[in-house]
Amino acid sequence: MTQSLPDLIQLAQRYDQELPPLAGDVASIAELPILSLIDQTLLKPEATAAQVQQLCIEAREFPFASVCINPVFVPMVSKLLQGTSIKVCSVAGFPLGACLTKTKVSETLQLIDSGAHEIDMVLSVGLLKGGEFQAVLEDVQGVVEASHAQGVLVKVILETCLLSRFEKIIACLLCQSAGADFVKTSTGFNTAGATVEDIDLMRRVVGSPSITGVKAAGGIRSLADARAMVRAGANRIGSSAGTKIAKELQAES
């Protein structure tokens, strides 16, 4: 998606009045195994190596998409998950998104060098809310270009609980224009996490899941929660309750 900034703003204004319909292939997400959509997550600042190791032991029992952990644990997790299909995911500019772009890029490159396959970066929320859309675009582009050069995908955390409807829309369009692979709702460290309404909005804005992914994160603690997000259009779920969700699924079947 390559549109000028004025065109993106105009499109966001139009979508703010009336969102486009859901893409025809959104319903196909529900046909995927739900565990394959889950990023099993532990990002608490007090998380220990022992807890992260246990997370990986549990993750090896189930076909999760990834294990998402703080940067300090990436080398260890990379070794623990070696030989599995589970990706190593970590975070850049987390949890505020307020650091310099070059800091996010440097952190991203170090994470990739340490074994990360996916980067969840935090959008510069203050710049977005201040209307500095070109700066937001360039911030995301910097991380995307550094990651894609090494075959690593990027999810951009919008922190939706802090944004107006228009800000959510323009953020999605800026991230998509910058080449991000996913837009993501939340860090899980602010006033609220993912909502069905936000997932529906984000999916309608970015269109087909084959073009741009939508990740729901924050407050997803059950199989019912995860399914609600998938029905709304999420094709990735960030949750610290991945093992619980997997066991609910086992009990159900």
Catalytic residue among 104, 155, 168, 215: 215
Contact 212, 182 (CB under 8 A): yes
Beta-sheet pairing, 118-122 with 153-157: parallel
184 is catalytic: yes
7 is catalytic: no
81: phi then psi, degrees, rounded to nearest 5: -100, 5
**Tell me, what's the pLDDT at 6?**
97
CATH code of the region 5-252 = 3.20.20.70
Nearest to 104, CA basis, from 87, 86, 90? 90
Nearest to 78, CA basis, from 93, 92, 59, 105? 59
**Tell me, what's the pLDDT at 109?**
98
Mean local confidence (pLDDT), 118-124 = 98
Mean local confidence (pLDDT), 93-98 = 98
Output DSSP code: residue 233: T
pLDDT for residue 69 is more than 80: yes
So where are the chain's domains? 5-252
102 is catalytic: no
The Cβ-side half-sphere exposure at 150, using a 13 Å CA radius, reads 18
With 0-12 / 13-18 / 19 or more C-beta atoms within 10 angstroms meaning exposed / middle / buried, residue 6 is exposed
**Tell me, what's the pLDDT at 253?**
85
Mean local confidence (pLDDT), 166-180 = 98
Catalytic residue among 184, 198, 200, 225: 184
Mean local confidence (pLDDT), 79-96 = 97
202 Cβ neighbours under 8 A, 6+ residues apart: 158, 160, 168, 172, 183, 185, 214, 233
pTM above 0.95, yes or no: yes
pLDDT in tens, 183-227: 999 999 999 999 999 999 999 999 999 999 999 999 999 999 999
Catalytic residue among 39, 120, 139, 200: 120
pLDDT bin (cut points 50, 70, 90) of residue 1 is low
Indicate if the alpha-carbon torsion angle 93, 132, 217, 226 is positive or negative: negative
Mean pLDDT of the chain: 97
pLDDT for residue 67 is more than 60: yes
